[in-house]
Amino acid sequence: MNRSMKLASLLATVSFGVLTASQAMGAESLQDVMKRRGLNEKDVLAAAKTYTPTGKRDEFLVFSSGGQSGQVIVYGIPSMRILKYIGVFTPEPWQGYGYDDESKKILDEGSNIDGRQVKFGDTHHPALSETNGDYDGQYLFINDKNFPRLAVIDLKDFETKQIVKNPIMMSEHGGAFVSPNTDYIIEASQYAAPLGGGFVPLEQFNEKYRGAVTYWKFNREKGRIEPENSFSLELPPYSQDLSDFGKGPSDGWSFTNSFCSERYVGGIESGRPPFEAGCSAKDTDFLHVVNWKKGEELFKAGKTKQINGHAVIEMATAIKEGMLFLIPEPKSPHGVDVTPDGKLLTVSGKLDSHVTVYSFEKIQAAIKAGKFSGKDEYGVPIIDMKDVIHKQVELGLGPLHTQYDAKPCVAYTSLYVDSMLAKWDFCEGKVIDKISIHYNIGHLMAMEGDTAHPAGKYVVALNKLAIDRFNPVGPLHPQNHQLIDASNDKMQLLYDMPLPLGEPHYAVAIAADKLKPHVRYPHGTDSRTEEKHPASVRAGKERIERTPGKVEVFGSVIRSHITPEIMEVTEGDEVTVHLTNLERAEDETHGFAISKHNVNLSLEPGKTASASFKANKAGVYPYYCTEFCSALHLEMQGYLIVQPAGYKATDVKAKEGVTYGKADYDARVKTNVETQKVIDSVVGYITSVNYKDFAPVVALVEDATDQLNFAAGAKAKSEDYAAKGDFHNAFLWAEQWFQYQVKTADIGLRAKTFLEQGGAKKVK
Ligand code: CUK
Ligand code: CUA
């Protein structure tokens, strides 16, 4: 813009009265903005702590449960910017999850519950894989409370790779939690039921209903759970709740708390008090203390009972072998969290104002001495609470969950009823600070706060209700994640983030530099098996194979066309379309959707995905790329032609809208030759500097070289046609030659900018 144009546009704005005089001058001061938006100094400080300028990245990544959406939400800290929704127990159309054949296999099988395709998941607790008790950035696990399932997400590409269904539970809650080296992932039942399913009358609750914990064996090399190497432990019909694995000195043990050890069976409809009264009557419930290493031995020795083909250690065996103990815990407990050093466990009672800190050493001493206060009705030894308490600390009303700080002895506990978050010292047993959060905090999340080496700095309050925090969007409100600066003893509230996807129970935060996800897949990858896709193709090898009643398309996508562009099938054919994205450029994803066929693929660079469908209705169905991938994205199109049975093709040639001649061809070639000069100058610059020291540029150069080779191919075809005097086709191929040049130039310029901004040095 020159000065007079600038002036004119300014005048135009001012005359509409939108801006004040000082803004029209173009420079609002910080004071002006504070005044205009009603911000005080504290607000501005909070903003400065979270605001993340363009191009800057977050220090931590959060994986939050997506609650009833059945998905996982990924966001950054401190910016609180949402980066991804990972489809887990429900379809996620953008990623093609639940639409392409490869992911359908995982989701459909994992959602087939007793012959019914279930369409939601109640995701609760995400868990990151650990090595020696610390996050390693490799895998994420998440459980589903409603259908007893557990999913494995690979953090190489943030995709769901496996869903395992719990073979014996009817509901669960206390998962997913991983052992310090991710050998096992725990899943604990919630509401007691007959193990393995089936009908048993409620009158037999005490005798026949049971709880359980499942120890899912994880094979890290394969990145998959091995159901055949997993086992469960039968537990009394108390409502088991959350769990945690021991670490360090407590490695080999796991802990699961419970509520409703009253074993109340309800019956409000027949005039009895409701569950809420019957399940909270006693002053204490039971913390289950399990020697899972012993359990593993028993499982390997075959001392188990098979239920639905799954090995279960019976309670009687566990008691006899000394692998199961109970400790009373006050009152309606929720959450058991092992300290980073593995020496202590914190348990909170929802109806108690204390947190109780148990000493693992004292627990072991009591077990060794055989010092028990008695047995429960099922014969499980009960350890006396006062023998094993390290400290009881009064924190406030409704304590729920605890996470740990980088500073030794410092913990954070959510106070649901008080709507506060407490920072406290569990060694000394004293409160350091309390901060009001907006409302009804459930879980909380400190950075790597459940590992052996928490990172401190921030805490997020996962509030159950948002109430009046955000602009109203109807009776159903979003949930509210509140970011708190916890780097000092005194905590400071920084930011409210609405999460509108379901009730996010729990979240885990990992240092961003521990994650090393792929930028692209190796050519032709089936992302769900992580192997070479048998139907992947290289450029130029695209084909259509036909057998009676079946059509299989082996196609490709690349800026800006789909090969093939015409797919002719016959009504009634079973059709499978496999598409490989031939791109290597970062973020060059193409989509693929066919009109009216519920086909939607996401094809990230290198990926091969497939869509199978029956061509059940004769007609003409446009297909197209669903990602705005390039200037000619809208032209990335084709037709699925479904011919009626018995249709005979005519030999009349299709008449196109425009015919081109020699003058068109010559003009096109002239432009192409000039374009090539621009490309050459960009290439000249790139090769004159140390571009090989910049990995992303090397990838871009590979990509540009590809496109340039395609350009050379198109140029050759165009010259062939011109030699034959067919200037119509010669022009069209020259046009395609130009399209490839444009893509080359686009990539080349991206590389050049990267080099210039990255401080590349001359080498020749
Ligand atoms: S839970 Cu404790 S607040 Cu982990 Cu299901 Cu929701
Ligand atoms: Cu590919 Cu749009």
pLDDT in tens, 646-675: 898 887 777 888 899 999 999 999 999 999
Q: Is the pLDDT of residue 10 over 60?
A: no
Nearest alpha carbon to residue 542 among 527, 557, 560: 557
Helix, strand or coil, per DSSP, at residue 109 = helix
For the segment 364-384, the average pLDDT, to the nearest whole number, is: 97
Higher pLDDT, 35 or 2: 35
The atom of ligand 1 lying closest to the CA of 506 is: 4
CA 561 – ligand 2 centroid, Å: 8
Percent share of the chain, pLDDT over 90: 81
pLDDT tens column, 463-474: 988 899 999 999
Query: Are the C-beta atoms of 255 and 338 separated by less than 8 Å?
Result: yes
Tokens of 647: 């249709």
Q: What percent of the chain has pLDDT over 70?
A: 97
Ligand 1 centroid to Cα of residue 226, in Å, is 27
Residue of 122, 189, 191, 242 to mutate, ligand 1, most atoms within 8 A of C-beta:
242
pLDDT for 596 equals: 97
> Which atom of ligand 1 is closest in space to residue 462's alpha carbon?
3
Structure tokens at 452: 């052996």
Sheet architecture: strand order including 430-436: 399-404, 410-415, 420-425, 430-436
* Average pLDDT over every residue of 301-305: 97
Smallest-distance ligand from the CA of 502: 1
The Cα-based distances of 401 to 93, 187, 243, 336, 722 in angstroms read 34, 18, 11, 7, 75
Q: Is 629 in the pocket of ligand 2 (CB under 6 A)?
A: yes
pLDDT of residue 6: 44
**What pLDDT, on a 0 to 100 scale, did the predictor assign at position 24?**
53
Closest-lying ligand to the alpha carbon of 581? 2
Q: Which atom of ligand 1 is nearest to the CA of 443?
A: 3
Report the alpha-carbon distance of residue 157 to residue 597 in Å, rounded.
27
CA of 658 to the centre of ligand 1 (A): 65
pLDDT on residue 11: 37
Q: Label residue 764 by pLDDT band (50, 70, 90).
A: low
Please identify, by atom number, the ligand 1 atom nearest to the C-alpha of residue 442: 3
Q: With helix as H, strand as E and coil as C, how does 365-417 read?
A: HHHHHCCCCEECCCCCEECCHHHHEEEEEECCCCEEEEEECCCCCEEEEEECC
- Cα(636) to ligand 2 centroid in Å equals 6
Under 8 Å CB-to-CB from 441, ≥6 apart: which residues?
A: 400, 414, 415, 416, 419, 420, 421, 461, 462, 463, 464
- Residue 128 CA to ligand 2 center (angstroms) comes to 34
**What secondary structure does DSSP assign to 507-520, as a single string?**
EEEEEGGG----SS
Q: How far is the CA of 51 from the centre of ligand 2 (A)?
A: 32
Question: From CA 458, how far away is CA 485, in angstroms rounded?
Answer: 5
- Whole-number Å distance, alpha carbon 334 to ligand 1 midpoint, is 8
**Cα(685) to centroid(ligand 2), Å:** 29
Lowest mean pLDDT among 109-118, 236-245, 750-759: 750-759
Closest residue by Cα to atom 1, ligand 2, is 590
Report H helices in 627-661: none
DSSP string, 261-275: TT-----GGGTPPPH
Average pLDDT over residues 327-354: 91
Closest ligand to C-alpha of residue 638 is 2
- pLDDT value of residue 68: 95
The ligand minimizing its distance to the Cα of 631 is 2
**Burial of 369 per CB tally in 10 Å (0-12, 13-18, 19+):** exposed
Instruction: Give the per-residue pLDDT at 117.
Output: 93
Q: Which residues contact 233 (CB under 8 A, 6 or more apart)?
A: 212, 213, 215, 290, 292, 295, 312, 313, 315, 318, 323, 324
Say how far apart CA 441 and CA 365 lie, in whole Å: 36
Assign 5 a pLDDT band (cuts: 50, 70, 90): very low
User: DSSP per residue over 56-107, as a string?
Assistant: ---SEEEEEE-TTB-EEEEEEETT--EEEEEESSS-BGGGTBTTSHHHHHHH
Opening angle at CA 524, ends 523 and 527, nearest 5: 110
559 CA closest ligand 2 atom index? 1
Q: How close is the Cα of 86 to the center of ligand 2, in Å?
A: 22
CB atoms within 10 A of CB 150: 25
Q: Whose CA is nearest to atom 6 of ligand 1?
A: 505
Nearest ligand for residue 630 CA: 2
Atom number of ligand 1 nearest to Cα 334: 2
Q: How far is the CA of 578 from the centre of ligand 2 (A)?
A: 16
DSSP code, position 202: G
Ligand 1 center–CA 505 separation, angstroms: 5
Ligand nearest to the CA of 590: 2
State residue 19's pLDDT score. Answer: 47
Could you tell me which of 707, 761, 756 has the C-alpha nearest to residue 736?
A: 707
Nearest CA to ligand 1 atom 4: 505
Q: List pocket residues of ligand 1, CB cut-off 6 Å.
A: 124-125, 173, 242, 334, 400-401, 442-443, 505-506
Per-residue pLDDT, averaged over 166-180, amounts to 96
Specify the pTM: 0.91
Distance of CA 413 from the midpoint of ligand 1 (Å)? 13
pLDDT at 387 over 50: yes
Ligand number, closest to the Cα atom of 623: 2
**Reported confidence tier of residue 746, pLDDT bands at 50, 70, 90:** confident
Residue range 419-423: mean pLDDT, rounded: 96
As a whole number of angstroms, the distance between CA 493 and CA 700 comes to 42
Residue type for position 312: V
pLDDT of 9 strictly over 50: no
Ligand 2, atom nearest to 634 Cα: 2
Please report the atom of ligand 2 found closest to the CA of residue 625. 2
- State the closest ligand 1 atom to the C-alpha of 505, by its place in the atom list counted from 1: 6
Query: Average pLDDT in the 690-717 region?
Result: 89
Residue 525 tokens read as 């990858």
Residue 758 pLDDT grade (very low, low, confident, very high; cuts 50, 70, 90): confident
Q: Is 50 exceeded by the pLDDT of residue 642?
A: yes
The response to whether residue 590 sits with its C-beta less than 6 Å from ligand 2 reads yes
Residue 135: strand pairing partners:
130
Q: What is the largest CA-CA distance in the chain?
A: 101
Q: Give the model confidence (pLDDT) of 595-634 as tens digits.
A: 999 999 999 999 999 999 999 999 999 999 999 998 889 9
Q: Is the pLDDT of residue 17 over 60?
A: no
User: Per-residue pLDDT averaged across 521-546, rounded?
Assistant: 95
- Please check the confidence at residue 750 and state whether its pLDDT lies above 90: no
Task: State the ligand closest to the CA atom of 562.
Answer: 2
pLDDT over 80 at 759, yes or no: yes
pLDDT of 18 strictly over 80: no
Using CA atoms, how far apart are residues 106 and 121, in angstroms rounded to an integer?
Answer: 14
Give the pLDDT band of residue 137 (cuts 50, 70, 90): very high
Ranges of beta strands (E only) in 565-720 are 566-570, 574-581, 590-594, 599-603, 608-614, 619-624, 637-643
**Helices assigned H by DSSP within 251-307:** 275-278, 292-300
Q: Does residue 145 surpass a pLDDT of 60? A: yes
Cα 712 to ligand 2 centroid, rounded to whole Å: 22
Tens of pLDDT, residues 474-499:
999 999 999 999 999 999 999 999 99
Lowest mean pLDDT among 276-285, 358-367, 368-377: 276-285
3-state DSSP call for residue 30?
helix
Q: Give 557 Cα–ligand 2 centroid separation in angstroms.
A: 8
The pLDDT confidence band at residue 25, using thresholds 50, 70 and 90, is low
C-beta 601 within 6 A of ligand 2: no
* 583 CB within 6 A, ligand 2: no
* 43 CB neighbour count, 10 Å cutoff: 13
Q: With the CA atoms of 194, 196, 199 and 201 taken in that order, what torsion angle do they form, in degrees rounded to the nearest 10?
A: -10
Residue 703 scores a pLDDT above 90: no
Local structure of 23: helix, strand or coil = helix
